[in-house]
Amino acid sequence: MFVQKRRETIARLVKTEGQVLVKELSGRFNVTEDCIRKDLAILEREGVLNRLYGGAVKARIKTHEYDVAQRLGRNSEIKYKIAVAALGLIKKGNTIFIDVSTAGTELARLIAENDLEITVVTNMVNAMLALCIPCKAELFFIGGNFSPGKDSFFGAASIAAIKQFRFDIAFMGTAGVDLYSNRVETYLADDGLTKQAVLAAAKKKYLLLEARKLDNEAPFRYAGLDDFTGVITGEELPGNVFDALTRLQIPIFS
């Protein structure tokens, strides 16, 4: 096989499988491991993948989707399915937290429409507005430092308020997920620290996950996947993602 064709095949494999191993590629193409390492180095420079010890993973994208307004209306069917699955986990009398997430906004709307008798705590303006219609849900809104782009409040004052609560369930958002480094990420440190306070105050923690977030990269790690009780998704996850979550013994809800 010509060198270029081999590299194209490796690029396709890492895209579809998420991860490749030097030893396996060496056997597959009947070339030395050093040869494969050179291929991976070139593909890394081209932005196709990121090398790790013994192999490589698919390169993640720095999306810079900081503003909630950028995400509103995108993948609305998937977000609705996530919200429906999340709604099914809530019991009468629960106290829940809804984190900054467009799927979380959809969840808040469904809670109001279904007239659930629960307590909702949130720091997200859109979620708060969705619960302002007459309904049985009791709403607590968390203030603090306002971030117009993220449509939410966070920081020291928010953390102090969150610490007064004990949540039965926290529904958390994310800007990006790195399966191989066990990183659940967000853009801003203050937002990440606020999310950590929510996790510390919650009995059960569910990550609201669109599959596209697995390709996104954000700078601040606020949790690991194994910090969550489960992952809620509205679509079929790639096989490598399903396998990774299974290894971590994290249930998937959809």
Q: Which residues of 213-237 are buried (b: 16+ CB within 10 A; e: fewer)?
A: bbebbbebbbbebebbbbbbbbeeb
Q: pLDDT band for position 167 (50/70/90)?
A: very high
Tell me the average pLDDT across 150-168: 95
Which of left, alpha, beta for 149 (phi over 0: left; psi -120 to 50: alpha)?
Answer: alpha
3-state secondary structure of 202: strand
Q: pLDDT band for position 94 (50/70/90)?
A: very high
Which candidate, 135, 244, 116, 228, places its Cα nearest to that of 179?
244
Tell me the average pLDDT across 93-118: 96
pLDDT recorded at residue 63: 58
Q: Which domains does the chain have, with CATH numbers?
A: 3-58 (1.10.10.10), 68-253 (3.40.50.1360)
Q: pLDDT band for position 62 (50/70/90)?
A: low
Residue 80 pLDDT > 90: yes
pLDDT recorded at residue 217: 84
Q: Say if CB 140 and CB 119 are below 8 A apart.
A: yes
Tell me the average pLDDT across 184-203: 96
Residue 101 to residue 123: CA distance in whole angstroms:
10
- Count, residues in the chain: 254
Residue 175 pLDDT > 70: yes
Instruction: Give the chain's mean pLDDT.
Output: 89
Residue 65 pLDDT > 60: no
pLDDT recorded at residue 137: 97
Of all residues in the chain, the percent with pLDDT exceeding 70 is 93
pLDDT recorded at residue 9: 86
Residue 134 pLDDT > 60: yes
Determine which of 31-35, 98-102, 163-167 has the lowest per-residue pLDDT on average.
Answer: 31-35
Residue 74 to residue 84: CA distance in whole angstroms:
17
Residue 129 pLDDT > 70: yes
pLDDT recorded at residue 58: 77
Tell me the average pLDDT across 70-97: 87
Q: Which carries the bigger pLDDT value, residue 208 or residue 68?
A: 208
Residue 16 pLDDT > 80: no
Q: pLDDT band for position 78 (50/70/90)?
A: very high
Residue 48 to residue 11: CA distance in whole angstroms:
7
Determine which of 119-123, 220-224, 243-247 has the lowest per-residue pLDDT on average.
Answer: 243-247
Tell me the average pLDDT across 175-201: 93
